[in-house]
Structure formats: structure tokens, C-alpha cells
Copies of this chain bind each other. A is one copy, B any other.
Amino acid sequence: MTVYPSGESGGIADPVYLRVRERIRSEILSGVFPPGSRLKSADLSKRYKVSQMPIREALQMLQGEGLVTVLPNRGASVRAVDNRFIENMYDIRGVIDGLLVRRACKLMNDSEIFELHGVQAKYEEAAGAGQLDASLELNKEFHHIIYVAADNPEAMSMLECHWGLVDSLRRTFGFGQERIQEIISEHRQLLRALDRRDEELATRIALLHCEQAKADLLRQRENALGADPGKLRNIRKGRTA
């Protein structure tokens, strides 16, 4: 028996095109397919031992995530995951998150805010104990509750679509020393703003939260690349594999 974890591709993704999507994404992020390289369906077909169609689908979805570019009759190529790309992603994230938090602030009832406090408590516990997986999950849950309350499924799916990418980056580069404490503090500030129903403040904090996350991720990435210079630049605009 296979169970889908409530709509997201969070756990074990059953259909081939979803599994292929995961593999391609992780291989792009780990540098197997360098920026600019072309992703030919025939190659990938041999590599993953599946036919071309699921690969096409996976590539389309990855285009939705911003990781690849697909042109009609011309195939797919890897979008460069450089500082600019990460900044762009987080800038988008920031404004949409702000939008959703603003609306959530208007629409959430007290019991939902109470639930949020509970998740935050569990998050602080897991983060304090240094459990990365659990805290990533709880962090996701924290924001998810807000997104659902904002009652804008279109915006929510945009954000959650990018979450896969952000998650992968986080698992690759980790968090800075003090970032966890900052996250906790920012979440607390957000909770306070929600408690007071202060839309302006809540929106501002959400934006700031994304700015800080962006800055931290860029720092972490800078460090990782500085320490291990060959890691993501093995080939410049090279062949597929």
C-alpha cells in the first residue's frame, strides 16, 4: 500500500515522472548537470532507465520551479543557480509571503493562531535539540498554516512549488550559526504581530524574514564554494555528463 502525504511530493513519490523530477533536481543542485548544459531526453532516458515521456514531464515541472528552461522544439537546459537566481527566488518569495501573511492576519481565527503557537513551541524544541529534519518539517508546517489561512491557493501553490528547491538548497548548504536563533526570534515577532492583528507589521516581518533567509543562504553558499572551489564549477558550459 502506498500513501500520498496529503498532496505534496513530500515523502515517497510514486509515479515515475515525480521520482525522475527529484533525481534531476538533486543532480542539478549537486552540480552533475552544470549550469547551461543541455538536458537531452535521450540521454536522461538511458541514464534513468525510463522512456522519454516521464522525463519530458519532469522537465516541464522543473521549468515551473525555475530550475530549467524549456523551449519548444529545442529541448531543455539547466538554469544557472547562482547568486542572482537565489536572490530572485527569495525576492519573489518575500512579496508573496508578505501578501499571504497580510491576508492571514485578517482572516485567521484565534484557534488557528493558537495552533501556530503550538507548532512554534515544537519547532523551538526540535531546533534546540539540533534535529535538522524535524525542524525543517516544523518550519514548513508553521508557514503552511499561515498560507492555508490566507485563502489564496494560487499563491500558496507558487510558494510551495519553490519550497522543494529551497529545501534542497538548505540540505546542501545548511544554516549559519546564529540563523536558527534568528528564525525563532522572527517567528516570535510574527506571532506577536498576528496576536495584535497588526497587518502592516506582520507583512513587514514576513518580508524581513525572507530577506534574512536569503542573506543567510547566500553566505552559506559563499562559504561552501570558497572552501571547496571545484565543487560546482567542474565544467563551465560543458556537456551533459
Contact = CB atoms under 8 A, between A and B. Distances in A.
A89 B154 contact: yes
A99 B88 CA distance: 10
Contact of A154 (B7, B66, B155): B66
Contacts of A216: none
A4 B72 CA distance: 9
Nearest to A95: B95
Interface stretch (A38-46, A57-65, A117-125, A184-192): A57-65
Name A's interface SS.
helix
Nearest to A203: B95
B154 A85 contact: yes
Contact of A92 (B60, B91, B152): B152
B14 A73 contact: yes
A148 to B, nearest CB: 14
Interface string A140-177: 00000000000111110110000000000000000000
Given A73-B14, A73-B15, A95-B99, A88 B57 contact: no
Given A53-B53, A61-B60, A95-B95, A155 B72 contact: no
A25 interface: no
A220 B82 CA distance: 44
30 contacts: A4-B72, A7-B71, A14-B72, A14-B73, A15-B72, A18-B72, A53-B53, A56-B57, A57-B60, A60-B61, A64-B64, A84-B151, A85-B154, A88-B152, A88-B153, A88-B154, A89-B154, A91-B99, A91-B103, A91-B152, A92-B96, A92-B99, A92-B154, A92-B158, A94-B99, A95-B95, A95-B96, A95-B98, A95-B99, A158-B158
